[in-house]
Amino acid sequence: MIDLRGKRALVTGGSRGIGAAIAEALAERGADVAFTYHRSVEKAAAVAKKIESRGRRAVAIQADSADPNAIAQAVEKAVSVLGGLDILVNSAAIGHAGTIADLDVEEYQALMDINVRAPVLFAKAVIPHLGEGGRIITIGSALGERVPFPGITPYAMSKAALTSFTRGLSRELGPNGITVNLVQPGATDTDANPADGAAADFQRSLTSLGRYGEPREIANAVVFLASPAASIITGATLTADGGAIA
Ligand code: NDP
């Protein structure tokens, strides 16, 4: 049984979908959890309530991942309310659909700011607070490794960058006993990619298991990597995609 009692976690994008499942799963295992959100005020309040119903402390922080100042302030708030941090989970991200030929440069920049720069800045702000046994876990995508259809190139690029981020940062933080890992979901049933959406059957057909993942299944991978049971695992990628890139 994984026991995270006494651990303090910060999850980005915890108001909905995979991030919300991660925040709730960490709390279920005993962690106090701060999480960021952008627009979903009511959903964030509902997630905070669920965390508190487990007897854990919850801190919902409105912070746009595109804004470096908001990121620094979010980390400061999480640290001051929880009294420190042991686990960072970078989950907030946005999607992007369209070809390179039709690329809008501002949309591209927003994608890179939120999906790539923000995880880097969250890590930079959290590192001074992490001690021995600290964890940095980032949510990438199986599309970062295999791009099975056109129209998702910039999104796939943004997720591929997280592999090198994870590997490089594991080298920097290994001497401090801090592990850094990447979880790559495949199609997972959330607002961003509903299991009854137009492209859902096609995505299912790419998998070995013939189905979507549930947010909770991705959270299970994160909980494992956050736990002492994963102490030797760092710089690694754990793909949780039902076999889509097998
Ligand atoms: P959702 O779109 O369902 O949820 C996104 C979450 O990120 C929300 O909590 C949202 O906050 C937050 N967020 C978005 N933009 C910002 C921002 N600018 N600042 C702060 N928070 C922000 O996404 P998923 O749950 O599907 O995805 C979670 C992660 O999993 C992402 O990294 C995604 O790339 C990855 N992933 C998802 C897959 C899937 O099939 N669902 C497949 C592979 C990877 P708010 O609600 O306030 O807007």
Q: Measured between alpha carbons, how far is residue 185 from residues 29, 76, 139, 220 in Å?
A: 21, 29, 7, 11
Instruction: State residue 1's pLDDT score.
Output: 83
- Rounded distance, CA 141 to CA 239, Å? 8
pLDDT for res 192: 97
Q: What is the spatial distance between Cα 21 and Cα 42, in angstroms, rounded to a whole number?
A: 16
The pLDDT tens digits of the residues spanning 97-132 come to 999 999 999 999 999 999 999 999 999 999 999 999
pLDDT one-digit tens code per residue, 155-213: 999 999 999 999 999 999 999 999 999 999 999 999 999 999 999 999 999 999 999 99
CA atoms within 13 A on the CB side of 11: 33
| Ligand 1 midpoint to CA 238 (Å) | 18
Lining residues, ligand 1, CB within 6 Å: 13-19, 36-40, 43, 64-66, 91-94, 114, 139, 141, 185, 187-188, 190-193
DSSP string, 73-126: HHHHHHHHHHTS-SEEEE---------GGG--HHHHHHHHIIIIIHHHHHHHHH
| pLDDT value of position 12 | 99
Q: Per the structure block, which two tokens stand in for 8?
A: 């303090």
Over residues 213-226, the mean pLDDT reads 98
pTM of the model: 0.99
155 is catalytic: yes
> How far away, in angstroms, is 116 Cα from ligand 1 center?
13
pLDDT in tens, 227-236: 999 999 999 9
**What is the tally of helices (H) and strands (E) in the chain?**
8, 7
Sheet holding 58-62, edge to edge: 58-62, 32-37, 8-11, 87-90, 135-139, 179-185, 237-240
